[in-house]
Structure formats: C-alpha cells, structure tokens
Amino acid sequence: MKMTILQPICRARLNSPAYRRSVSRLVSSLSPRAWSYPSSVTDVANDKVTRLASAPRRPLTLTDLLKHGRPPLSDEALLACANFTLSLLPARLAYRIQALRNLPFIVVSNPHITKIYNNYVHSLSTLLPYQQRQISTMEEEKQFTEVMADLVQTHTNTIPILARGFMECKKYISPTEVTKFLDEHLRARIGTRLIAQQHLALHMASQPIDDDGIGSPAQKNASDSNYIGVIDTALQPARLIRTCEDFVAEICELKYGVRPRLVIDGEPEATFAHVPVHVEYILTELLKNAFRAVIESGNERQPIAVTIASAPDVPDSHVFEAPDYHTGSTDAEVDFRIGKEPHPVSEQSELLKPLRSSTQSITIRIRDRGGGIPVEILPHMWSYSFSTFSEDDIPRGDNGSIDALNAISGSGVNGSTIAGLGYGLPLSRAYAEYFGGSIAVQSLWGWGTDVYLTLHGVGKVE
C-alpha cells in the first residue's frame, strides 16, 4: 500500500525540472576527460599531451640510427645525437599516454596498467624541460644521458606488467581489443627504446680514455667493433642461430630429456646490419616452437633444418627528413621539415646528411617435422592470448610479478618452462616487421611447419 502511494511521488520528483537540472550539472562535471584515466603523481597538461600526440611522426629506420657515424663520436656529433633523440621521444610518449587514456575506464584503472600509465607520464614530464631548450654543452648532454638511462630502466618491465594487467581485466575487454592495443603499443615501444638505447650506447662508446688507460670498455673496443650503438653492422645470422639453438636445446633437455638436432644450410656466411637483440628474440621463439613440436610429436630424431638466403643489395631510396629543433619552444612541438639541418650543426656538416647505403634482405627458413599446426589454432596464431597458463602456473620473478618475457622464451625461474603466454609469435612478428621484414608460416598438418623470417637491414656500412 505504501509503495503504491510513494510511486507517483517518486515519479514526480524524478520528472521535476529542478531534479533534471541537478542531474545535468552532475553529468557535466563528470566529463570523460575527468574520469577516463587515472591521476598521475607527476601529471602533464592535457593540451600539451594532445598537441604532442598529434605531432607528425614517421617510421624509424636503421638509417636514422646509423647516421651519426661510427663511435667514438665527436662532441658535435654527440650533441646532435642527443637533440635528435630529444626531438622524437616526447611525441612518442604522449601518443602512448593518449592510447592508454582511450582504454575503458575499468581497464586503465587496473593497478598494473595504471603503473604503466604513470611511468609514461613521468617520463614525458621529465623530458619536456629538456625539449624546451636545446642541449648545447657536453655537461648538458651528460646530464641528459643520465636521465635517459633512468627512464630506460623505468620501462624495462612494461610487457610483463601489461600482461598481468590485461589478464586481470580479461572480463572487461575483448581479446580483439587487447590484441589491437598491444600490437600497436609494443610496436611503438620498440622504436622508443631503440631511440633511447642508441644514444646511450653511442655516448658510452664515445667516452674518452684517461691518461692511465682507464676508460669506457665500449670506447676502447669502438674502433675494432662492428657495432654502431645497438646495431651490429656485420651481423651473421648463422652465429645467432647456433647461440639460440644451444639455449633452447638445454631447456628441452631439462624439460623432456632429449636434445633435437639442428642443421644450417644455404648461405651461413651472410651478414647484414641489424639489431642483434631483436633477431635473437625472434630466433629463440621460432626455434622453441620447432623444438617443442618435434619432441611432442615423437620426431625428435628428425633434424630441424634452417636455410639462410641472402638477397642482393639494392639502392636505398630513403631520404632523412631532419627535425627542426625549436629552441625555447614553450609548447615543445616537433616539426619535421625536409632539408633542414638541426642546430647547432652547421649547414656544411656531414653528420646528419642522408646515409646513401645499400639495403639487404635476409630470409631464414626454419623447417621442422613436428606434425604441423592444428587447424583450430591457426586463426588465433597472431593473437595475444592469456589462456596458455592458468594464473597459478605463470612463472614469477623474485618480487612476485609475472615474468612474461621469461615465460615466452622458456627461461622462467624454474628453468624449464617451454610454454608461454601467447606473446611469442605476435611479438616476434612485431620485431620483424618494424624495419620492413615479415614472418610467414606454412603449416602442413600431419607433417610439419615451415617458417619464413625475412629481415631488412642495411647491407654495407662503411
């Protein structure tokens, strides 16, 4: 009876103009910008993030990373390298912040994903004061390099932390959305880390040796090394394959008690310029899958055949568009203009001119007799999956955090984990495609699998 009397009264109040106005004011105060992303300890103005995120960006190339020359670099070259690094990173960090803000509120509120968001905001707020003025002295370059080293360390565990966060949020975001976000995020992360690590490596390799002969080991070996920063200009895939084979074979021996064989044919002496860490990760993942397949199919006595094919050098048509560093720019914008040399390098300087080298393509085929890939797995092969492990089975580090990269590569804390989180193939493809390469898989169900890894590098670097 009471409910019957109260219902008209409640409806009248809900329909009253005063109630509607109060609700409207409340909704207006809760704008998406105010609640769609977590607050940060060190926040950056929203308009600045938006402006930086909308700045023009272009793909990073190996030529960009090699153009400063072979270390040890002169002071002029180091300053140019620092300003080049500073011109690219803030816009890339801002873009990732925007992407994280665009995730559903309940997802980005997850403590693990919030941590990654805060790391990016902290990094951007740290770099902006440097970008608003130009690095013009070696003391400023040294200080900037120390800051960069700290920021690189801060983002070291981004992938495992994100994996943990998305695993906890899998009820609130579809696998398709997760794959799309992670694919874009991890590809962007590859370039951001490469830019930072290249400057750090060139800085270390350019430190002077004192009168007592004590100095940076990297600088002592710079003149005799094939490395220019993080890039090996004479990378020999066959050697990396053997290194990865030993690593994966030891895991198989611990896990299964057998050690499959691997044979290399084709052009084992072929070399090109590329990032060894990327190639090693890809090869480890592909060999891990091949070794595991032949063992579990009972064909471990059948050798895994790896063929290396080197394509002829072709002229590189890439022309570097140098960024114009805005000295004292309050908005810290990045403006790319063709033909402009960044200050303080003189117009006659050879440091930042386009590197007219040859490019080279190397294809590696990995063939196994592991029975092929089940038909039901093929459609999901390139998706970031979180169902391979249950939460209790996931290898963890000393601090209890998920160690996704170790799980992927089979080097988890127990030393014998051969399965992964589903990150292996899609992340390997991201590394391969970043510089124009590819991974193609041809499965013969009931027989075996051929994987074709193509990598584009720089052929001959003087």
Tens of pLDDT along the chain (462 residues)?
Answer: 444 444 444 444 445 555 445 434 433 443 333 334 454 545 566 778 888 988 887 888 888 999 999 999 999 999 999 999 999 999 999 999 999 999 999 999 999 999 999 999 999 999 999 888 889 999 999 999 999 999 999 999 898 889 889 989 989 999 889 889 999 999 999 999 999 999 999 999 998 865 455 455 545 455 558 999 999 999 999 999 999 999 999 999 998 999 999 999 999 999 999 999 999 999 999 999 999 999 999 999 999 999 999 987 655 544 333 333 333 333 333 333 223 333 333 333 344 344 444 558 999 999 999 999 998 888 888 887 644 334 444 444 444 433 333 333 333 323 333 344 467 888 899 999 999 999 999 999 999 999 999 999 875 565
Same domain, 213 and 360: no
Q: Of 65, 364, 409, which Cα lies nearest the Cα of 237?
A: 364
Same domain, 167 and 248: no
Given a contact cutoff of 8 angstroms between Cβ atoms, the answer to whether 205 and 219 are in contact is yes
With respect to residue 453, please indicate whether it lies within any of the assigned structural domains: yes
CATH of the domain at 132: 1.20.140.20
Helices in 156-216 by DSSP H: which ranges? 158-168, 175-205
Regarding beta strands 314-315 and 262-266, do their DSSP bridges make them parallel or antiparallel, or are they unpaired? unpaired
Rg value, the chain, Cα: 26
With respect to residue 343, please indicate whether it lies within any of the assigned structural domains: no
| pLDDT computed for residue 141 by the predictor | 96
Same domain, 18 and 74: no
Same domain, 219 and 238: no
Given a contact cutoff of 8 angstroms between Cβ atoms, the answer to whether 120 and 93 are in contact is yes
**b/e map of 350-375 (b: 16 or more CB within 10 Å)?**
ebbeebebbbbbbbbbbbbbbbbbee
For residue 16, is it left (φ>0), alpha (ψ between -120 and 50) or beta?
beta
| pLDDT computed for residue 9 by the predictor | 41
Same domain, 16 and 67: no
Same domain, 181 and 167: yes
Same domain, 172 and 74: yes
Given a contact cutoff of 8 angstroms between Cβ atoms, the answer to whether 84 and 114 are in contact is no
How many other C-beta atoms can be found within 10 angstroms of the C-beta atom of residue 327?
Answer: 12
Same domain, 271 and 362: yes
| pLDDT computed for residue 376 by the predictor | 85
Tell me the CA end-to-end span of the chain in Å, nearest whole number.
93
Residue recorded with tokens 């072929």: 270
**Whole-angstrom distance, CA of residue 332 vs CA of residue 54:** 12
For residue 332, is it left (φ>0), alpha (ψ between -120 and 50) or beta?
left
| pLDDT computed for residue 85 by the predictor | 95
With respect to residue 349, please indicate whether it lies within any of the assigned structural domains: no
Q: Of 52, 60, 62, 65, which Cα lies nearest the Cα of 92?
A: 52
Same domain, 218 and 141: yes
Same domain, 257 and 393: yes
Cα distances (angstroms) measured from residue 390 to each of 113, 165, 172, 385, 420: 20, 14, 18, 12, 11
With respect to residue 344, please indicate whether it lies within any of the assigned structural domains: no
| pLDDT computed for residue 381 by the predictor | 85
- DSSP H or E segment with residue 9: helix 2-15
How many other C-beta atoms can be found within 10 angstroms of the C-beta atom of residue 440?
Answer: 13
| pLDDT computed for residue 110 by the predictor | 96
- Asked if the peptide bond before residue 312 counts as cis, ω within 30 degrees of 0, the response is no
| pLDDT computed for residue 417 by the predictor | 31
- Rounded to 5°, the CA angle 197-451-241 comes to 50
With respect to residue 3, please indicate whether it lies within any of the assigned structural domains: yes
With respect to residue 53, please indicate whether it lies within any of the assigned structural domains: yes
Same domain, 197 and 149: yes
**Amino acid making up residue 83:** N
Residue that terminates a domain, selected from 336, 371, 406: 336
With respect to residue 138, please indicate whether it lies within any of the assigned structural domains: yes
Residue recorded with tokens 């048509």: 317
Q: Of 406, 401, 365, 434, which Cα lies nearest the Cα of 187?
A: 434
Structure tokens at 27: 């909704």
| pLDDT computed for residue 114 by the predictor | 96
How many other C-beta atoms can be found within 10 angstroms of the C-beta atom of residue 191?
Answer: 19
- Rounded to 5°, the CA angle 75-80-81 comes to 95
With respect to residue 210, please indicate whether it lies within any of the assigned structural domains: yes
What range defines the domain where residue 5 resides?
A: 1-30
Same domain, 128 and 241: no
Residue recorded with tokens 């074979």: 249
Reported pTM: 0.76
**Whole-angstrom distance, CA of residue 72 vs CA of residue 309:** 33
**Whole-angstrom distance, CA of residue 268 vs CA of residue 307:** 8
- Total domains in the fold of the chain: 3
| pLDDT computed for residue 44 by the predictor | 67
